[in-house]
């Protein structure tokens, strides 16, 4: 079988729809495991599955704030977290809100806007791709820990590979390539990465 093309460039107007699709598929997968023990470590991380949700809330809200504040040398001072007493389904509602805020901000941000990020000053499409990557890889981390079979959809993976991982290897499915780029799995002939980052700079 011929592998799906690894990278597919995405037009700026498509990022809002891709973020919404990422939220739908990732949160549905996480909801399937809502009744399990979320105090166990997420796959490959030092955080628990529950703590990983807090990381997602912080990241998604932070990307929104960066696009609004548009700093050129620092992170924003707004930090978001989920209610520590809330159940998992309610936490997932919180993540959907955070994703919606990012998607809405991406949709109204003009193409000339740039904001700071330690892995490259970026534009709205870049921050959308970062949000999708966070959702995809951490959903993978959590579902693996909970014993649920889930991998990021190739359509989402291809979009973020094109935007954030310009040197990604070819010849593999977009899903596997994204998981390799983010240090989750090995690929044939390529060992699992222990150090990685994306490139958010505008190209």
- Asked if residue 52 lies in contact with residue 45, where contact means CB atoms within 8 angstroms, the answer is yes
- The tokens of 131 are what? 């949000």
Rg (CA), the chain: 16
User: What is the set of domains in the chain, with CATH numbers?
Assistant: 12-147 (1.20.120.450)
What pLDDT was estimated at residue 2? 36
CA torsion angle for 20, 15, 65, 78 (degrees, to 10)? 40
Q: How far apart are CA 27 and CA 142, in angstroms?
A: 11
pTM: 0.93
Tell me the per-residue pLDDT of 119-178, one tens digit each, with 9 for 90 and over. 999 999 999 999 999 999 999 999 999 999 999 999 999 999 999 999 999 999 999 999
- Asked if residue 19 lies in contact with residue 131, where contact means CB atoms within 8 angstroms, the answer is yes
1: confidence class by pLDDT, cuts 50, 70, 90: very low
């Amino acid at each position: 079988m011929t592998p799906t093309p690894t990278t597919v460039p995405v037009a700026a107007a498509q990022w809002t729809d891709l973020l919404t699709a990422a939220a739908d598929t990732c949160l549905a997968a996480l909801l399937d495991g809502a009744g399990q023990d979320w105090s166990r470590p997420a796959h490959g991380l030092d955080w628990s599955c529950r703590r990983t949700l807090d990381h997602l809330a912080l990241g998604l809200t932070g990307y929104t704030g960066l696009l609004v504040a548009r700093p050129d040398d620092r992170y924003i001072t707004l930090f978001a977290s989920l209610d520590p007493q809330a159940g998992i389904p309610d936490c997932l509602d919180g993540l959907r809100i955070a994703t919606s805020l990012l998607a809405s901000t991406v949709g109204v941000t003009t193409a000339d806007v740039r904001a700071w990020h330690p892995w490259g000053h970026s534009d709205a499409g870049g921050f959308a791709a970062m949000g999708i990557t966070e959702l995809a890889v951490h959903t993978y981390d959590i579902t693996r820990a909970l014993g649920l079979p889930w991998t990021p959809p190739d359509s989402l993976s291809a979009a973020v590979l094109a935007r954030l991982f310009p040197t990604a290897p070819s010849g593999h499915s977009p899903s596997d390539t994204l998981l390799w780029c983010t240090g989750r799995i090995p690929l044939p002939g390529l060992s699992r990465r222990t150090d990685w980052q994306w490139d958010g700079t505008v190209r």
